[in-house]
């Protein structure tokens, strides 16, 4: 009779421990799935940023040699849009504003400058020599940023960096 008193609480305890272990396992699987989804979002944002910055460099170089007003207008419009898209991608990365401040500032400057030149050209005004020099400087900065992003991409592709660790490691590169 004394054994039966201990058997029921023991069986309930074993069932409770088993249920808790099953629940913990399910929570662990759910966390792994969410981590994978989040990392995939980070990778997409990073590669969107990379693509947009590469296109910024190309568009800046084209705008330096463009001939007609229509061509210049299209290039500046594309430049403005790509800068805004790059800014949006940068904001999706797991890096704080303090670390990406200079990169964000550069992207904003490129977009704003392209938009200002676009308005100037649409009003029939010519682009001045100092404005062309500013475009040349922005082109150089875009090349430098592309180099930094290529280095970061190589580390990602080599498995030396995970995007969830970008706040610690990549902020140094993106902060330029």
Residue 152: per-residue pLDDT: 84
- Is-contact 114 79, C-beta < 8 A? yes
- Is-contact 114 145, C-beta < 8 A? no
Residue 166: per-residue pLDDT: 64
Residue with the two structure tokens 């290529």? 150
Residue 56: per-residue pLDDT: 95
Residue 9: per-residue pLDDT: 84
Q: What share of the chain is helix, strand, coil (3-state, %, to 5)?
A: 85, 0, 15
Mean pLDDT by 10 residues, the chain (176 residues): 77 93 95 88 92 95 87 92 94 76 91 93 88 93 92 84 64 50
User: Dihedral of CA 146/153/85/70: which sign?
Assistant: positive
Residue 1: per-residue pLDDT: 60
Residue 176: per-residue pLDDT: 45
3-state secondary structure 131-157: HHHHHHHHHHHHHHHHHHHHHHHHHHH
């Amino acid at each position: 009779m004394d054994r039966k008193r201990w058997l029921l609480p023991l069986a309930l305890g074993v069932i409770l421990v088993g249920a808790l272990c099953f629940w913990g396992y399910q929570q662990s699987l759910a966390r792994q799935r969410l981590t994978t989804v989040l990392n995939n979002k980070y990778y997409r944002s990073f590669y969107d940023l990379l693509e947009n910055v590469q296109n910024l460099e190309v568009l800046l170089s084209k705008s330096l040699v463009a001939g007609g007003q229509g061509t210049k207008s299209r290039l500046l419009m594309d430049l403005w849009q790509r800068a805004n898209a790059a800014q949006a991608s940068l904001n999706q990365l797991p890096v704080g504003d303090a670390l990406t401040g200079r990169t964000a500032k550069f992207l904003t400057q490129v977009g704003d400058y392209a938009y200002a030149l676009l308005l100037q050209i649409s009003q029939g005004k010519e682009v001045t020599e100092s404005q062309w020099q500013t475009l040349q400087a922005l082109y150089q900065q875009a090349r430098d940023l592309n180099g930094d992003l290529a280095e970061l991409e190589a580390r990602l592709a080599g498995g030396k960096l995970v995007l969830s660790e970008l706040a610690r490691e990549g902020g140094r590169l993106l902060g330029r």
